[in-house]
Amino acid sequence: MSLLQSVRILAADHQIDLRRRRVLLALSGGVDSVVLAEVLHQLGVRFGIAHCNFQLRGAESDGDEALAQQIAAKYGVPHYSTRFDTAAYMAERKVSVQVAARELRYRWLHEMREAHGFHYLATAHHLNDNIETVLYNFIKGTGIKGLRGMLPKNGRLIRPLLEVSRAEILAFQKEHGLVYREDASNASTKYTRNKIRHSLVPLIEEINPGLEQGFADRLRIFSDLEDLYEARFRKVAKQLFLQRGSDIYIPILKLRQLKDRRSILFNYLKSFGFNAAQVDDMLGALDSDGGKQFLSEQARVVKDRRFLIVTELAKGNRGAIYIEHANDLVKLDGFSLQCAAVEAAAVVIGKEKTHAFLDLDKVKFPLLLRPWRQGDYFYPFGMKLKKKKVSKYFKDQKLAIHQKESVWILESDQRIVWIVGERIDERFRVSDKTQNVLVIRQSREA
């Protein structure tokens, strides 16, 4: 099968309309993108060329840019180019050169595609790139999505050469006498991907000479398996990951019933920065008491009695905090809460808003201290079990916006017991039958 036939088949299989749609080709000047330009030309595709100069290789980078202009002129197609201060971007964002180049490149390319009316953005990734990607993902740790590698079509991004080998590309270049430029950094084993390309892949090919074709077949299988898994995940996610305000509640009972709970939980939590080892720890803690926490750079997962609760990390200690015992001291930005268990006969109940007097036997630990959120409601003390939304209470108390933003809620078993510094809930008040009192005192920090 010729290279052009492979591209036609891939386009048909993945519903890529190359006949009627305009394509913006990301052309680096290397052999892969130069070959793709010739392929698009021979297929009669209306295309343009976009080139990024990362200014990392001096005159070599300028030579790549000049070649991109020459190729655009050769085919009589539109040409767009830009120059990035990649080194400054790396320093500002504290990222590697590969990450910086990828972020800068794709952001600009998609902007150009939209600005100039191109339907697709095309890159020249090929089969060997995909093999290296899968091996890289496997080594670093991945789910099924990483095992299926790159896709020929991902939204408006297309990869027409993805089922074509590097050897086929080089043969096509030689046959048509195409001029290209070689990036010297591709030969370096400084980068992980290059180590895979120059060291690992040759070793695998020595063991299995049919690596390329075997990988191509398995990538199609993994892609089909991913579709099946994603359908399963979407079905389970509707019942398992429950949105409550800005938090996600995961019912532990439902989670236990899933045979594939580890995979489902990891697939969901990885977007919050959690790794597989942390997910294993969470599952291992399902039988533990509430209050255990797991942290990533982006979020916190809290083990409640009936739920795993996912909350985003907030600035200024605005996430959920647990009070484990009746005599705990909790410090937050700006104030602290001191708890004490006292016999009812020894308590003199005052009217200060900074003190909460609660029937200790009606309270279940751990208590949850969190910021208030829309939809919260309670039964204000003195209103004879009349339900009221917290937002309505704020309105009645004429609290300003900045005051509402600093309000904390104290919960017991998902029931509000105290709007801290405001009013307790009627259900937890001290009565003549109360034997033990939980006294919580709020102190402002200087």
Q: 31-42 and 166-176 are packed helices; what angle lies between their axes, rounded to 10 degrees?
A: 70
Residues with Cβ < 8 Å from 235, sequence gap 6 or more? none
Going from the C-alpha of 173 to that of each of 31, 57, 129, 380, the distances in angstroms are 7, 24, 18, 78
DSSP states of 340-402 = EEEEGGG------TTEEEEEGGG--SSEEEEE--TT-EE-BTTSSS--EEHHHHHHHTT--HH
Is 60 a residue whose pLDDT tops 60? yes
How far out from the chain centre does Cα 314 lie? 17
Structure tokens at 246: 């800005």
pLDDT in tens, 215-246: 878 888 888 888 888 899 999 999 999 998 77
pLDDT band (50, 70, 90) for residue 211: confident
Mean of pLDDT over the chain: 90
Q: Which CATH number describes the domain made up of 321-444?
A: 3.50.40.10
Condensed to tens digits (0 to 9), the pLDDT of residues 379-428 reads 999 998 999 999 999 999 987 665 776 799 999 999 999 999 999 999 99
Q: Is residue 317's pLDDT more than 70? A: no
Q: Which CATH topology does 3-225 take?
A: Rossmann fold (3.40.50)
Range with the poorest average pLDDT among 81-90, 176-185, 316-325, 369-378: 316-325
Asked if 3 and 10 count as a contact pair (C-beta separation under 8 A), the reply is no
Give yes or no for a contact between 32 and 127, defined as CB atoms under 8 angstroms apart. no
Residues 6+ away with beta carbon under 8 Å from 189: 195, 198, 199
pTM listed for this prediction: 0.60
Instruction: Enumerate residues 6+ apart whose C-beta is below 8 A from 432.
Output: none
- How far apart are the C-alpha atoms of 85 and 87, rounded to whole Å? 6
Give me the mean pLDDT over the 197-216 stretch: 83
Length of the chain: 446
SS3 126: coil
Supply the pLDDT for residue 186. 72
- For residue 225, the Cα-to-chain-centroid distance in whole angstroms is 22
The DSSP secondary structure of 322-343, one letter per residue, reads: EE-STT-EEEETTEEEEEEEEE
pLDDT of residue 149: 85
Q: Do 57 and 185 form a contact (C-beta atoms < 8 A)? A: yes
The backbone torsions φ and ψ at residue 439, rounded to the nearest 5 degrees and listed phi first, read -100, 125
Q: Which two tokens stand for residue 387?
A: 């339900």
pLDDT in tens, 90-103: 999 888 888 999 99
pLDDT per residue as tens digits for the range 282-306: 999 998 876 788 888 888 888 887 8
State how far the alpha carbon of 236 is from the alpha carbons of 142, 224, 226, 269, in Å: 21, 19, 15, 14
pLDDT tens digits for 238-270?
999 999 877 899 999 999 999 999 999 998 998
Do you find a cis peptide bond into 371, omega within 30 degrees of 0? no
Helix, strand, coil % in the chain, rounded to nearest 5: 45, 20, 35
Residue ranges per structural domain of the chain? 3-225, 241-312, 321-444
